[in-house]
Structure 1
Amino acid sequence: MPFQFCPQCGTKLQPGYRFCPSCGEKLSCAAEDFGPGSSPASTKAEVETAITKTNLAARSCKPTENKVQEDIASMNVSPRPPLRKTRKSLRLDKDPTPLVLPSAHPAIVEETATMKAKVEFEPTIDVSPSRGKCTRSGKGKAKMSSPPKRQAEEPQNLCDKGSGATQGPAVNAASPVSSPVIKSPLKVLRPNSKESHILKLGAKEGKIFNEQNFLQRAAKPAAVDKWLKQNKMDFLGIPSCAGFGLHADSYRFLIFPDMGRSLHSVIEKENKPLSEIVVLQLACRILDVLRFIHSNEYVHADINAENIYIKPGQDAQVYLVGYCHAFRYCPGGKHVEYREASRTPHEGALPFISVDAHKGAGPSRRSDLQSLGYCMLHWHMGTLPWIELAQPEQVAVQKQRYREDVDALLRHCFGKKRVSSAFHTYLKSVMALEYSEEPNYSSLKNGLSAALHQLGGSVESPLSL
């Protein structure tokens, strides 16, 4: 069967082709005239002429080009409609950008996000880095995607999965970050809202998941309202979670209404211990919160000044926050057994956690009450026997010693000052509790309230900070 070759790319052609099926080059008039109406003699001569020209052009090519033409000629070319564009218009750039394949350890870049809502202040947030990726188009010139910028051009929203809201406020994380733990709360404003909120960010499967689980299980707004009605109270310092969700499939966030400033920041700003009246007021309000969460089968397990917030302008409102270490001590109404080394030891703020937490036993109700006693001493006197120790084992030894000798603990903290009778009564009671024993919350609060009245204060009066 007569055939010819494309003078442009050397592809073998079949009779009747007006365009090369490989490169789209329009063929010579010989191919156009070749058809049923042509005479055999003229057709044969034209084909031989075209083959001769093609062979001469092929001999003049370089060896590498001959090899390419042989490979192309050996390919089975399926018939298809002629291409309209020429090979020149489809030709690749002479110096294409080289494609850099990702190594075993790709370069780490810092992930950032921008915030649509208004930011009140911007502390350092720790977020683990993301990895850069390269992409390549399916056909044609290879392209490299530009590396992620340090500040995202488009805002990344944190999708709020809380009840009654489809989308929560975004967060500004433009500052460099390195680990999935938030060091201080970030205040944000919802769009078209004057009320500010606090955003807490952490690793998806980290301690923040434990806090979210506690808030959804034991601190529902309906349960808090029911408790207030039953106990004829106007306020209970349980934080209300306004929203929660996941970000970038690696981080979890919680959103709370603005609860003011932490007690730790107040103490640092004043740079002096709190008065006995203020300490007793705080203790009474925290006892109410502990009684509520204990009745819902949980303990806080990390009571300290950083987890206590005071609402500005309404100093009677004291919140107990930070439930990352919350422990379900009584699942299904059955108290857990005391077993040392059943949990990670020394979890929580080292100077204030209970002896049970130092030994790796599950914290119980007495653990929270003993931690509150350590906090009261530190807030009022500014010291504890183990406050300067850095080794957890040494701190545990000191706490074990003073738990058995409360009088020595009070003498060490008060020094030459008169020991407060309210502190003495409270610490004696909570240090004598058994692991699974239910505390008498009313008795404890009444003792603190009576001492408070003797000093001229009351639980309901504003805090003198």
Structure 2
Amino acid sequence: MHHNYTSKLAYKSSQMKNLDIRIAGKYQLQRRIGGGGFGDVYIGTSLDTGEEVAIKLEYVYEGPPLLEAEADVYRLLAGGVGIPRVHDYLFECEYNVMVFDLLGPSLEDLFNFCDRRFSLKTVLMLADQLLYRLEFIHSKNIIHRDIKPENFLMGTGRYGNQVFVTDLGLATERRAIQIKTDPTGASKRHLIGTARFASINGHLGILQDRCDDLESLGYMLLYFLRGSLPWQGLTAKDHAQKEDLVLEKKKTISTKDLCRDLPREFETYFDHIRSLEFDETPAYAYLRKIFLNLFAREGFERDNVFDWTILKYLMAHDEEKSCEKSR
């Protein structure tokens, strides 16, 4: 990202904090709730309906409008389960603006809320939904390329148990004929995605396909079960060396070591991903089935009770009891 652009965006955001801002006379901007690689996300209100929405702002600068490409991907995926709806795409006072569904907390937020460890039951319920999401996205010839816990949000209200896919800013179309460039990474590498969860191809900055999204998803599931990944905490002299060490670890670790002390199904998952030819279609149903079989074998109930559901219930229950005591 251009440093100049980042500082401009930070300056503009600070300017906007205390102002009564309306966008195109249709939306009232409220508070900032987050930011992606190229924009800030705010809660806003539709002045027509009073409905709360999410509003992503991209400050216009010399370069391609990335937010418009992201809005196009959302439109392409419109109607899919777990895909936020884009309400509007506008231009207002030096900003490109995308208005979309307001969602709940991210999986990273909930992971922190649950003391950075999810139970096997929660991870398997998430895996089932996430495999469906990726299968749908891939069926539309889109590769996400930035699978990480921050980019999956739970819904709200009646969609409270549904996982939504967000931050499609790095998403790209699958080519009709895939050409895999130099796999040795001999040319200058450029990481696409987030180092912790990126696939090996993501580290090499070369063309990614469906297997890469599934590789990143696998790393995310292990992270949820263990609290960290084998390449976290590696010491390096700088950021570039750290990335090199992470890549080396991912390339050399066996599926057996990667999934050590976890149910065999996780090793089976990675074995399948690693067995795929670059542009081969993953066996999504097979991967869901191995996790569903594990779910059944463990005697878990398909009741949509996640770790955070229990924690929130217990916290509310404790609050109730302390209120009774103080009466």
User: Into which bin does the TM-score normalised by the smaller protein fall?
Assistant: 0.7 to 0.9
Which position in structure 1 is the counterpart of 2:244? Answer: 393
Q: Is the 8 A contact 1:237 1:286 kept in 2?
A: no
Q: 1:363 aligns with which of 175, 187, 208?
A: 208
Q: Is the 8 A contact 1:273 1:380 kept in 2?
A: yes
Please give the alpha-carbon distance, in whole angstroms, between the structure 2 residues aligned to 1:181 and 1:239.
Answer: 19
Which position in structure 2 is the counterpart of 1:210? Answer: 69
Q: 1:201 aligns with which of 53, 57, 64?
A: 57
How far off its partner does 1:374 sit? 0.2
Q: Is the 8 A contact 2:121 2:295 kept in 1?
A: yes
How far off its partner does 1:461 sit? 2.8
SS at match of 2:28: coil
Q: Is the 8 A contact 1:353 1:371 kept in 2?
A: yes
Q: 1:239 aligns with which of 66, 72, 84?
A: 84
Identity of aligned residues (%): 23
1:226-256 deviations in whole A, cap 9, x for unaligned? xxxxxxxxxx11111111212223x222122
Q: Is the 8 A contact 1:180 1:203 kept in 2?
A: no
Please give the alpha-carbon distance, in whole angstroms, between the structure 2 residues aligned to 1:323 and 1:384.
Answer: 24
Please give the alpha-carbon distance, in whole angstroms, between the structure 2 residues aligned to 1:328 and 1:366.
Answer: 14
Letter in 1 for 2:197: F
Within 5 Å, give how 1:341-380 maps onto structure 2.
345-380=190-225
Q: 2:177 aligns with which of 308, 330, 335?
A: 335
Q: Is the 8 A contact 2:39 2:59 kept in 1?
A: no
User: Structure 1 unaligned runs (5+)?
Assistant: 1-109, 112-125, 131-148, 160-166, 225-235, 412-417
Please give the alpha-carbon distance, in whole angstroms, between the structure 1 residues aligned to 2:273 and 2:188.
Answer: 23
Which position in structure 2 is the counterpart of 1:442? Answer: 285
Relative distance call for 1:399 and 1:203 in structure 2 (3 A) is farther
Letter in 1 for 2:51: E
User: Structure 2 unaligned runs (5+)?
Assistant: 1-6, 309-327
Q: 1:303 aligns with which of 147, 156, 163?
A: 147
Q: 2:259 aligns with which of 374, 388, 410?
A: 410
How far off its partner does 1:192 sit? 5.5
Relative distance call for 1:440 and 1:459 in structure 2 (3 A) is farther
- How many residue pairs match? The answer is 286
How far off its partner does 1:220 sit? 2.5
Please give the alpha-carbon distance, in whole angstroms, between the structure 2 residues aligned to 1:180 and 1:398.
Answer: 26
Q: 1:259 aligns with which of 103, 109, 114?
A: 103
Q: Is the 8 A contact 1:127 1:181 kept in 2?
A: no
Which position in structure 1 is the counterpart of 2:131? Answer: 287
1:246-299 deviations in whole A, cap 9, x for unaligned? 2223x2221222211111111112223100111111111011111111111111
Q: Is the 8 A contact 1:180 1:202 kept in 2?
A: no
How far off its partner does 1:211 sit? 1.1
1:331-381 deviations in whole A, cap 9, x for unaligned? xxx232111469972122110010001111121000000000000000111
Runs of 4+ in 1 over 4 A off after TM superposition: 127-130, 149-156, 341-344
Q: Is the 8 A contact 1:168 1:243 kept in 2?
A: no
The structure having more radius of gyration, on CA atoms, is 1
Letter in 1 for 2:69: N
Q: Is the 8 A contact 2:28 2:45 kept in 1?
A: no
Relative distance call for 1:458 and 1:319 in structure 2 (3 A) is farther
- TM, length-normalised to structure 2: 0.78
Letter in 2 for 1:211: E
Q: Is the 8 A contact 2:30 2:43 kept in 1?
A: no
Q: 1:188 aligns with which of 44, 54, 57?
A: 44
SS at match of 2:23: coil
Please give the alpha-carbon distance, in whole angstroms, between the structure 2 residues aligned to 1:151 and 1:369.
Answer: 39
1:158-204 deviations in whole A, cap 9, x for unaligned? 23xxxxxxx54132579xxxx99445x32222226453211122244
Q: Is the 8 A contact 2:143 2:172 kept in 1?
A: yes
Letter in 1 for 2:137: I
1:219 is the counterpart of 2:219: no
Q: Which moved more, 1:266-275 or 1:190-199?
A: 190-199
Q: Higher RCO, 1 or 2 (CA under 8 Å, sep at least 6)?
A: 2
1:276 is the counterpart of 2:131: no
SS at match of 2:27: coil
Which position in structure 2 is the counterpart of 1:382? Answer: 227
1:98-151 deviations in whole A, cap 9, x for unaligned? xxxxxxxxxxxx99xxxxxxxxxxxxxx45559xxxxxxxxxxxxxxxxxx957
Q: Which moved more, 1:297-306 or 1:149-158?
A: 149-158
Please give the alpha-carbon distance, in whole angstroms, between the structure 2 residues aligned to 1:408 and 1:153.
Answer: 52
Please give the alpha-carbon distance, in whole angstroms, between the structure 1 residues aligned to 2:106 and 2:53.
Answer: 15
Q: Is the 8 A contact 1:335 1:436 kept in 2?
A: no
Please give the alpha-carbon distance, in whole angstroms, between the structure 1 residues aligned to 2:189 and 2:31.
Answer: 32
Q: Is the 8 A contact 1:208 1:252 kept in 2?
A: yes
Q: CA RMSD in A?
A: 3.0
Letter in 2 for 1:267: F
Within 5 Å, give how 1:111-190 maps onto structure 2.
126-127=9-10, 129=12, 155-159=20-24, 168-172=26-30, 181-182=38-39, 185-190=41-46
- TM, length-normalised to structure 1: 0.56
Q: Is the 8 A contact 2:45 2:51 kept in 1?
A: yes
Which structure shows the higher helix fraction? 2
Relative distance call for 1:460 and 1:255 in structure 2 (3 A) is farther
